[in-house]
Amino acid sequence: MRHTELLAPAGDAECVGAALRFGADAVYIGGELLQLRAQKAAFDRAALTSAAETVHTAGKKLYVTVNSFMRTDETAALAEYSRFLYDAGADAAIVSDLGALDTIKKNAPSLPVHISTQANCCNAAAARVYYNLGAERIVLAREMTVPQIRELRENTPEALELEAFVHGAMCMAYSGRCLISSYLNGRSGNRGECTQPCRWSYYLMEEKRPGEYFKLEENGGASAILSSHDLNCIDFIDELADAGVDSFKIEGRMKTAYYVATVVNAYRRRIDGTADLSLLHRELDSVSHRPFSSGFYHGALGKHHNNDGQYRSDCRFAGVVLGRAENGYYVQQRNRFCVGDVLEVLSPNSIGQSFIAEEIISSAGESVPEAKLVAETVAVRTDVPLAAGDFLRIRSE
């Protein structure tokens, strides 16, 4: 497989660290302005500057999402913000709005711009226009097939980079442009406030029979009638690379560091050829997800690409390794685990390793039967070699 960038999401500093440690070549985050995620996933200016320093120290790149559709009264703020992003060391701004693109290029001409998937660029003519306006990369529309990507690549300047999503949540709306949340809740998905009503369960009530509810079911009893499958391209990312994709993008700026580490680790090993596909499938099933699919890459979605809107996972996140302890390691607890539990290790240094928790020492120095206080630092006795930043999980029965 030719060299292709692995691009990871991050909603906080812990996710940035996990992405870098587990093999991401670049990280994308949101800042204080025009970022299409909830505010809790936004980095303030100090945190964004710190993230840029962390990423660059690791020899990697940091991209910042500025991909909401801009209002006229936000133009002046974006002009100043774009200058801040350049000074802070951002390696690119990801935009979807033409006015935002123009504003950034006028006020921070040396700041590279990537065109967001929200712009739904799916043809070579549009890609060339964006390139002529100063864009260095196109994040391809989610609806494109592999042959369409290859055709676009063959008809665009070689210097224009192509980026494609390979994993994570998908939206039933065209390139994520949807008004359902805005209509039902007054919270627009196009402004980073989506409440995902497409994944709710719905009932039908006949006008003249108030109070009589009938559950809407589509396939297999599912009632979330617009809940799409999650994307999973682990089997065929070589096809995307051969078609001309320069960057593999993982969705998930609202996800935990454990999720980021798991998915980045799987795709890093797939790109480098350091693990069998069967192991990587097992890894990706270890984090919370909806049923997987290949998206549009191999053609139109099947009629029943819907699901029940519920997440599933084969593992429960137990804790984060902090460092060495006497006869074991310090672990920050994230979910309850007990003496005798089999703890699997998620690490960039190994795959498939596990051990039995022989003893747990509480923060008070007492031997206890379980770690049950969230975020408590406990010591776990084991001879298995671990490292700070490794994650521990418990596989379901």
- Domain harbouring 330, CATH code: 2.40.30.10
Which band of pLDDT confidence, cut at 50, 70 and 90, is reported for residue 309?
A: low
Which band of pLDDT confidence, cut at 50, 70 and 90, is reported for residue 101?
A: very high
Asked whether residue 319 falls in the same domain as residue 289, the answer is no
What is the average pLDDT value for the chain, to the nearest integer? 91
User: Alpha carbon of 22 to those of 107, 235, 255, 260, 390: distances in Å?
Assistant: 35, 20, 15, 9, 9
Looking at residue 183, what is its pLDDT? 65
The Cα 127–Cα 146 span in angstroms is 16
Asked whether residue 90 falls in the same domain as residue 169, the answer is yes
Phi, psi dihedral angles at 396 (to 5 degrees):
-65, 155
Which of the residue ranges 182-196, 277-291, 340-354 would you say has the lowest mean pLDDT? 182-196
Asked whether residue 235 falls in the same domain as residue 380, the answer is no
pLDDT of 331 > 70? The answer is yes
pLDDT of 375 > 80? The answer is yes
Looking at residue 194, what is its pLDDT? 77
Number of domains in the chain: 2
Which band of pLDDT confidence, cut at 50, 70 and 90, is reported for residue 85?
A: very high
* Residue 303 located in a structural domain: no
pLDDT of 38 > 70? The answer is no
Asked whether residue 242 falls in the same domain as residue 391, the answer is no
pLDDT over 70 percentage in the chain: 91
Mean pLDDT confidence for 356-360 = 96
Asked whether residue 388 falls in the same domain as residue 247, the answer is no
CATH value at residue 23:
3.20.20.60
The Cα 29–Cα 387 span in angstroms is 26
Mean pLDDT confidence for 13-17 = 97
Three-state DSSP class for residue 206: coil
Which band of pLDDT confidence, cut at 50, 70 and 90, is reported for residue 220?
A: low
Asked whether residue 322 falls in the same domain as residue 288, the answer is no
pLDDT of 178 > 80? The answer is no
Q: Are 24 and 5 in contact (CB under 8 A)?
A: no
The helix, strand and coil proportions of the chain, stated in percent and rounded to the nearest 5, come to 30, 25, 45
Q: What angle do CA 12, 15, 20 make, to 5 degrees?
A: 130
Q: Burial, 77: exposed, middle or buried (Cβ in 10 Å; 0-12, 13-18, 19+)?
A: middle
Beta bridge partners of 354: 344
Q: Are 162 and 140 in contact (CB under 8 A)?
A: yes
Three-state DSSP class for residue 327: coil
Which band of pLDDT confidence, cut at 50, 70 and 90, is reported for residue 5?
A: very high
The Cα 26–Cα 9 span in angstroms is 9
H-helix or E-strand spanning residue 7 = strand 5-9
Which band of pLDDT confidence, cut at 50, 70 and 90, is reported for residue 67?
A: very high
Radius of gyration (Cα) for the chain, nearest Å? Answer: 22
Looking at residue 144, what is its pLDDT? 94
* Residue 304 located in a structural domain: no
* Residue 210 located in a structural domain: no
Which of the residue ranges 119-133, 190-204, 242-256, 306-320 would you say has the lowest mean pLDDT? 190-204
Beta bridge partners of 171: none
Mean pLDDT confidence for 16-41 = 91
Of the candidates 53, 43, 10, the residue with the CA atom closest to the CA atom of residue 257? 10
Looking at residue 205, what is its pLDDT? 81
pLDDT of 191 > 80? The answer is no
- Token digits of residue 321: 């390794």
Question: Of 70-79, 191-200, 203-212, which has the strongest mean pLDDT?
Answer: 70-79
* Residue 159 located in a structural domain: yes
pLDDT of 222 > 60? The answer is no
Which band of pLDDT confidence, cut at 50, 70 and 90, is reported for residue 47?
A: very high
* Residue 289 located in a structural domain: yes
Phi, psi dihedral angles at 145 (to 5 degrees):
-95, 165
What residues make up the domain containing 354?
315-395
The Cα 86–Cα 63 span in angstroms is 11
Asked whether residue 278 falls in the same domain as residue 345, the answer is no
pLDDT of 256 > 90? The answer is yes
